[in-house]
Copies of this chain bind each other. A is one copy, B any other.
Amino acid sequence: MAENTKGVLIVLSGPSGVGKGTVCKELLARNPQVKLSVSATTRAPRPGEVEGISYFFKTKEEFKRMIDAGEFLEYMDVFGMNYYGTPRAYVEEQLALGNDILLEIDVKGAMNVKRIAPEAVLVFIAPPSMETLKARLVGRGTETEEAIARRTAEAAAEMQLLPKYDYMVVNDVLTDAVNEVETILAAERLRVDRCKDLAKFCKEA
C-alpha cells in the first residue's frame, strides 16, 4: 500500500560524538525514498550551491518573517550571525508525495519539531555507554581538554531528554544501527494514521 501512504518525517538526533552523521549517511545511501530535508539559511550561497537543492537562500528579513508566520519546524541562530531552519511547507510537500524526510538535528531542535509536528518520529541515537562516548570525543584528538569536558557535560545533559523520544537506537555496530532505523521506518509506514485513503478503504466495506 506504499502508494497510498504518507511519508514518514524521521528525526535522528543524539549527543555530539554518537555518530549520528554516519548513521544518516548510510541510511540515505541505502534508501532512495528517504530524502534529506532542504534547509533555509541566511548565509550567502557558496560556489556550486543550488537554490532549492543545497538550501533555500533567504535574506534575514525573509527569514524573520517566516519565523513570525510559524513557517519553520525548527530553526536556530548560529553565533548570532546566520539563521538555519527547516521549512514546514517543503517537508509537508515531500511527505504527501510519499517520500520519507530525514532531519539530523540536535535534541533541542528535535523537541521543537515534535511540538509543531506531533506525527514526527523521533529516534535517539545513543552511545553503547557514556564511557564509549567520552572515549570517542577524546579520540577525535582535535580538541582541547576543556572542550572535551564541555562536550561531555553537554552530552550528559542531552541524554536526559531520551525519555521524550519515540525510539532509541544504540549505535554500537553501524550496520545494526542503520538496520534498526530501517525497521522503524518500515513499521511506521504501516501505521493506520499514515494511510491516505483510509476513509475510502473503510467505505468500500
Contact = CB atoms under 8 A, between A and B. Distances in A.
A184 interface: yes
A153 to B, nearest CB: 10
A166 B194 CA distance: 10
Contact of A183 (B126, B166, B187): B187
Interface stretch (A26-34, A40-48, A197-205): A197-205
Contacts of A168: 1, 190-192, 195
A192 B1 contact: no
A165 B1 CA distance: 16
Interface residues on A, range: 20 to 34
17 contacts: A130-B204, A157-B205, A159-B201, A159-B202, A159-B204, A159-B205, A162-B192, A162-B201, A162-B202, A163-B198, A163-B202, A165-B192, A167-B187, A167-B190, A168-B192, A183-B187, A187-B188
Interface string A51-65: 000000000000000
A102 to B, nearest CB: 16
A72 interface: no
Which of A157, A188, A201 counts the most B-chain CB atoms under 10 A from its CB? A201
Contacts of A193: 163
B186 A166 contact: no
Contacts of A184: 187, 190
A147 interface: no
